[in-house]
A and B are shown apart, each in its own frame.
Chain A
Amino acid sequence: AQSVTQLGSHVSVSEGALVLLRCNYSSSVPPYLFWYVQYPNQGLQLLLKYTSAATLVKGINGFEAEFKKSETSFHLTKPSAHMSDAAEYFCAVSEPGGGNKLTFGTGTQLKVEL
Chain B
Amino acid sequence: DTAVSQTPKYLVTQMGNDKSIKCEQNLGHDTMYWYKQDSKKFLKIMFSYNNKELIINETVPNRFSPKSPDKAHLNLHINSLELGDSAVYFCASSQDISGANVLTFGAGSRLTVL
- Interface residues of chain A, those whose CB is within 8 Å of chain B, are 32, 34, 36, 38, 41-46, 49, 51, 88, 90, 94-104, 106-107, 109
A49 CB contact (under 8 Å) in B31, B41, B102: B102
A43 with B106: in contact, given A95-B99, A99-B97, A100-B98 (CB under 8 Å)?
yes
Interface string of B78-94 (1 = CB under 8 A from A): 00000000000010101
B108 touching A43 by the CB < 8 A rule? yes
A100 with B108: in contact, given A46-B102, A106-B41 (CB under 8 Å)?
no
Chain B residues near A103: list those with CB within 8 A. 45
Give Cα A41–Cα B106 distance, bound, in whole angstroms: 11
Chain A residues near B90: list those with CB within 8 A. 43-44
Chain A residues near B105: list those with CB within 8 A. 36, 43-45
Whose C-beta in chain A lies nearest to the C-beta of B100?
A: A51
B42 touching A97 by the CB < 8 A rule? no
B97 touching A100 by the CB < 8 A rule? yes
B99 touching A96 by the CB < 8 A rule? yes
Q: With A44-B43, A101-B48, A109-B41 given, name 14 new contacts (CB 8 A).
A: A34-B102, A38-B41, A41-B107, A43-B92, A43-B107, A43-B108, A44-B105, A90-B43, A99-B50, A99-B97, A100-B31, A100-B48, A106-B40, A107-B41
Does B39 make an interface contact (CB < 8 A)?
Answer: no
26 CB-based A-B contacts, threshold 8 Å: A36-B105, A43-B4, A43-B105, A44-B90, A44-B92, A44-B105, A46-B103, A49-B100, A88-B41, A94-B99, A96-B98, A96-B99, A97-B99, A98-B99, A99-B97, A99-B99, A100-B31, A100-B97, A100-B98, A101-B56, A101-B99, A102-B103, A106-B40, A106-B41, A106-B42, A107-B43
